[in-house]
Structure 1
């Protein structure tokens, strides 16, 4: 029997390895976690959000990026791959490997990712000074949760009515209907939940 001690990786080692890796990994405090492949519903929801945000951000000082762009959260020594991220400000170089100043982050959650998205990532992302909104979109039922930064702290909003609820994105002054977020998505149960 052989026992090997695994040492934590530095952020630099992680980034170098990630450039050569066949699959994506997230990095938290020296540990690397392989990411599972997304299902069709997940990709449809993320694509809907990306497209709607891209239309609004086009021609502005904002950039919408998909799940291939990492976000660095220095306060917790982490690199994550959000499903959709929006940043506004001066353009970045084309070789940029990660963002540090998003204003909106969206994670499309499933049963296997919901706990990490709702706990670990929520706490980590809230340390980003630039972040105004963190949005969780359920890939199995119509549930959108928005966490918004306000002077008094973070506020929470639950959206689950596709006919009347609208997700307001402060970064680009946009209101997205829940119906548009889930457009074309075949959910296991189309009924809203409490």
Structure 2
């Protein structure tokens, strides 16, 4: 099937993607293959998962931390595959493909995805009422960009190379340094 010619709904995409090699996203009806991850990307994604999992457990949050793998449905023609997410509330069924009740979404920057991560994914993730925080991690500069839902339609942004990020909700802090591999 040529994805360049066929526009898909989320339901069609989920069925189609199960038979494909590699990871895919659906952008406004068009399937897009996710480029292979560089090692710095993989390391950062792993460290972020460990740091967020530890901080969530330490705070006693009723949340599950995912290190990638699940999809996030933005609308009927868009599904993103974030590098990490925190889902709170009822545990997702084992056979689920889509993550719901997301509170935090994490993306690790790569040269191929930077514009999308800072643009359409930023607005897409915050179009979901449950999303309170969007962390963009830059492994090259070791910087965390923390977008937080503010009052009304405002999105507050902080760029941090050290210190802590307060994720409330769900109610914990994580050190910026812990999100990146040791030097």
TM-score, length basis structure 2: 0.89
Alpha carbons of structure 1 residues 135 and 169: separation in structure 2 relative to 1, 3 Å:
same
RMSD over equivalenced CA pairs, Å = 1.7
Query: C-alpha separation between the residues in 2 aligned to 1:60 and 1:145?
Result: 23
Matched, 1:67 2:104: no
How many pairs are equivalent? 177
Give the match for residue 39 of structure 2: 40
Matched, 1:168 2:166: yes
DSSP-derived class of the 1:54 partner? helix
Contact 1:70 1:81 in 2 (8 A): yes
Give the match for residue 21 of structure 2: 22
Deviation (angstroms), 1:172: 3.4
TM-score, length basis structure 1: 0.84
Deviation (angstroms), 1:173: 2.2
Deviation (angstroms), 1:93: 1.1
Residues 20-64 of structure 1, C-alpha deviation per residue, up to 9 Å, x if partnerless? 211111002210000011111111111111111212334642111
Structure 2 alignment gaps of length 5 or more: none
Residues 134-165 of structure 1, C-alpha deviation per residue, up to 9 Å, x if partnerless? 011112112211110122421111102x3xx2
Instruction: Determine which structure has greater relative contact order: mean sequence separation of CA pairs < 8 Å that are 6+ residues apart, divided by chain length.
Output: 2
Matched, 1:183 2:168: no
How do residues 36-185 of structure 1 correspond to structure 2 at under 5 angstroms? 36-58=35-57, 60-74=61-75, 77-152=77-152, 153-160=154-161, 162=162, 165-185=163-183
